[in-house]
Amino acid sequence: MEWLHYMLVESKQEFLQQSQEQLAATANPIVGSRVWVEDPDVAWIDGEVLEAKGEVIKVLCTSGKTVVVKASSIYHKDTEVPPSGVDDMTKLAYLHEPGVLDNLRSRYDINEIYTYTGNILIAVNPFIKLPHLYDSHMMAQYKGAAFGELSPHPFAVADAAYRLMINEGISQSILVSGESGAGKTESTKLLMRYLAYMGGRAAAEGRTVEQKVLESNPVLEAFGNAKTVRNNNSSRFGKFVEIQFDQRGRISGAAIRTYLLERSRVCQVSDPERNYHCFYMLCAAPPEDVKKYKLGDPRMFHYLNQSNCFELEGLDESKEYRDTRRAMDIVGISSEEQDAIFKVVAAILHLGNIEFAKGKEIDSSVPRDEKSWFHLQTAADLFMCDAKALEDSLCKRVIVTRDETITKWLDPEAAALSRDALAKIVYSRLFDWLVDKINNSIGQDPESKSLIGVLDIYGFESFKTNRFVTGTPFVV
C-alpha cells in the first residue's frame, strides 16, 4: 500500500482536527475489543485484546500470534466498516493510520482506486490502464454533479474547482502531492483533461490552448524526466500549470511554471537510475544526426555510464527521438532551434568526457590526453565557442576584486568540479529556455478573469538514508 497520493482542493483544517481527535481513541482498551497492532511484516495487523493490565496489553492477532504491546501503541479497530470499505474516510469511526490503510486496501481489492477524506481525494496507483474510468462518457457524468454525489474521482475535484471559480468568481488551485511514482503526473493530466472538457473551445477554432498544454508534455518529459528506482518516467522538476479563463468560463490562455529541476542528475547518476531521457534518445537518433553531434553508444559517456542502466524495457529510444522532434514542431520550436537544442545536449555529453591531469604550473590542470582534447574541441564546436576559452573556463578561475582581476589555476579535481558545474548550469538554462518557448507558443491571456492552478509537486523519496534532498515534502 505504498503508492498513495493526495489531492487537496480546499482547506485541510477539518481533516487534521478530526484525525487528531480520533488518534486519542486508543486509551483504555478493554478485554474483548478489536484493535490494530504494529507488525513487522504487514505494517498493521488486527486482533482481539486478551488481557489489559494498565500499560501492558496482550493481543491475539488474526494471524494466530499472541503479542504483548504497550497500550499507547495500539489503535481501536472500527468493526462497523463494511468489507468493501467506505468511499469517504470521514465516515470512519477512527481516522488513524491503520484504519486509513485498511480502508484503502479494501477499496483497492474491489478496483476502487479513489477515496475521499472530506474534500481531499486519495488515489492508489493501479499500475494498469483503466481507460473506462477516464473516457468522455465519464466526464459527462461528473459535469455539474455535486461533490460526493458520484464515486470519488479526479474529475469531481476538477469539476468542483471549475464550478467554484464560475459561481464565486474566485481563482482556485488544486494541489497534487505524494511520493515518487504515486501517480501525480497522471492525475495532473486527468485534471487538465477535464478542465479542457469544461472550458474548451470548439475544434473548428484551430489548435486550442488546452491542446497546446497537453502537447507540450512530451517535450518537458524528454528533458525533465528520468528513470529512478521508483518510476521509469519520474518528473525531476515541480510544475505549476495555470489555466486562465475568460468571462464565460472558456479557456483563454495558460502558463507552465517549473521549478527545482534536479540539476545534480546531469553529471551524477546512481545505479540503476538514468540521466534525463533526452541524452539516451539523442544517442539513438538517425545515423546522420549521431554523426553530426559526434555521438554513439551511451556507454561511452561518463555522464551516462556511472549507472549500468541504459535501456528501458518496452521503450524504443529512436522512436522517442522522432516523437520528441515532432512534439517540438507542434509547440512551435523551429528545426534550427531544435538543432541548437540537441547541439547543447550533445555538448554536455562531450563536456563530461573531458578528464584533467596536472599541468606545468603548481596546482594547475590541463585536459588529460588526446581523447579529452577531442571532447573539449567537440564541445566547443557544438557550443559554438572558442576551444581555448572553454579550456580556460574549466582550468582557471577568474576572481574580480575592486582593484584588479586575478586569474587562478585550478587543480585537476577543481577543474572536474568546474566542468560539472558548467554542465549543470547549461542544462538548467536549456530547460528554462524550453519552458519559455512553450509558454510563448501556448499564449497567456493578460485579460483573463480567473484561473485554476494545478500544482504537481514532485515526489520525495523516503529511503533509509536520503542521498539528495530532492524536494520539500508536503504534509497534507
Ligand X SMILES: Nc1ncnc2c1ncn2[C@@H]1O[C@H](COP(=O)(O)OP(=O)(O)OP(=O)(O)O)[C@@H](O)[C@H]1O
Residues known to be catalytic: 180-181, 185, 231, 234-235, 459, 461
Our measurement of the distance from residue 367's CA atom to the centroid of its chain's CA atoms, rounded to an integer in Å, reads 37
Which of 92, 165, 174, 182 touches ligand X by CB under 6 A?
A: 182
Q: How far is the CB of 454 from ligand X (least distance, A)?
A: 12
Residue of the chain from 183, 253, 298, 367 that contacts ligand X (CB under 6 A):
183
Q: According to the binding rule CB under 6 A, does residue 130 interact with ligand X?
A: yes
Q: Which of 455, 456, 447 is nearest to 253 (CA)?
A: 447
Which of 99, 178, 199, 253 is close enough to bind ligand X by CB under 6 A? 178
* Burial zone of 274 (CB within 10 Å; 0-12 exposed, 13-18 middle, 19+ buried): buried
CB 420 within 8 A of CB 267: yes
Least distance from ligand X to the Cβ atom of residue 11, Å: 23
Please state, in angstroms and as integers, the Cα–Cα distance from residue 122 to each residue in 44, 107, 178, 241, 399, following that order.
20, 11, 10, 20, 53
Q: Which is nearer to ligand X, 256 or 290 (CB)?
A: 256
225 — phi, psi (to 5°)?
A: -115, 155
How many residues are present in the chain? 476
State yes or no: residue 302 binds ligand X (CB under 6 A).
Answer: no
218 contacts ligand X (rule: CB under 6 A) = no
Q: Which residues carry a binding-site annotation for ATP?
A: 178-185
Could you tell me the three cell numbers for 462?
Answer: 523516503
Long-range CB contacts (within 8 A, 24+) of 360-368: 361/409, 362/409, 363/409, 363/410, 363/411, 364/395, 364/409, 364/410, 364/411, 365/395, 365/409, 365/410, 365/411, 365/412, 365/414, 365/415, 366/391, 366/395, 367/391, 368/412
Which residue in the set 235, 275, 378, 448 belongs to the binding site for ligand X (CB under 6 A)?
A: 235
Give the annotated binding-site residues. 178-185
185 near ligand X (CB under 6 A): yes
Of 22-30, 92-100, 229-237, 420-428, which part binds ligand X (CB under 6 A)?
229-237
In angstroms, give the least distance from the CB of 151 to ligand X. 14
Per CB under 6 A, contacts with ligand X among 393-412 are none
Which window, 6-14, 104-112, 183-191, 203-211, contacts ligand X (CB under 6 A)?
A: 183-191
Query: What span, in angstroms and rounded, lies between the C-alpha atoms of 124 and 112?
Result: 9
DSSP code per residue over 258-309: EE---GGGGT---TT--SBHHHHHHHTS-HHHHHHTT---GGG-HHHHTSS-
Size of the site for ligand X (CB under 6 A): 19
Stretch that binds ligand X, among 45-53, 180-188, 241-249, 341-349 (CB under 6 A): 180-188
In whole angstroms, the minimum distance from the beta carbon of 43 to ligand X comes to 21
Which window, 165-173, 230-238, 345-353, 377-385, contacts ligand X (CB under 6 A)? 230-238
Range 363-371, long-range pairs (CB < 8 A, 24+ positions): 363/409, 363/410, 363/411, 364/395, 364/409, 364/410, 364/411, 365/395, 365/409, 365/410, 365/411, 365/412, 365/414, 365/415, 366/391, 366/395, 367/391, 368/412
135 binds ligand X (CB under 6 A): no
Residue 458 found at the interface with ligand X (CB under 6 A): yes
Residues in 250-289 that interact with ligand X by CB under 6 A: none
Asked whether position 238 contacts ligand X by CB under 6 A, the answer is no
Query: Closest CB to ligand X among 113 and 165?
Result: 113
**Binds ligand X (CB under 6 A): choice among 77, 96, 107, 184:** 184
Residue of the chain from 126, 238, 249, 332 that contacts ligand X (CB under 6 A): 126
Amino acid 28 reads: N
> Are the CB atoms for 331 and 216 separated by under 8 Å?
yes
Asked if 85 touches ligand X (CB under 6 A), the answer is no
Contact 194, 155 (CB under 8 A): yes
If one asks whether residue 151 binds ligand X (CB under 6 A), the answer comes out as: no
Paired sense of beta strands 450-456 and 172-178, if any: parallel
What is the identity of the amino acid at 25?
A: A
Question: How near is the Cβ of 317 to ligand X at its closest, in Å?
Answer: 17
Stretch that binds ligand X, among 125-133, 245-253, 336-344, 354-362 (CB under 6 A): 125-133
Minimum CB distance to ligand X smaller for 3 or for 94: 3
User: Quick one: which of 32, 127, 248, 308 contacts ligand X (CB under 6 A)?
Assistant: 127
Which one, 127 or 336, has the nearer CB to ligand X?
127
Rounded to a whole number of angstroms, the minimum distance from the CB of residue 323 to ligand X is 16
Closer to ligand X by Cβ: residue 126 or 200: 126
233 near ligand X, judged by CB under 6 A? yes
H or E segment to which residue 430 belongs: helix 412-442
Residue 114 β-bridge partners? 123
One of 14, 48, 186, 273 touching ligand X (CB under 6 A)? 186
In what helix (H) or strand (E) does residue 317 lie, and over which residues does it extend? helix 317-330
> Which residues of the shown chain bind ligand X in the complex (CB under 6 A)?
125-127, 129-130, 178, 180-186, 231, 233-235, 458-459
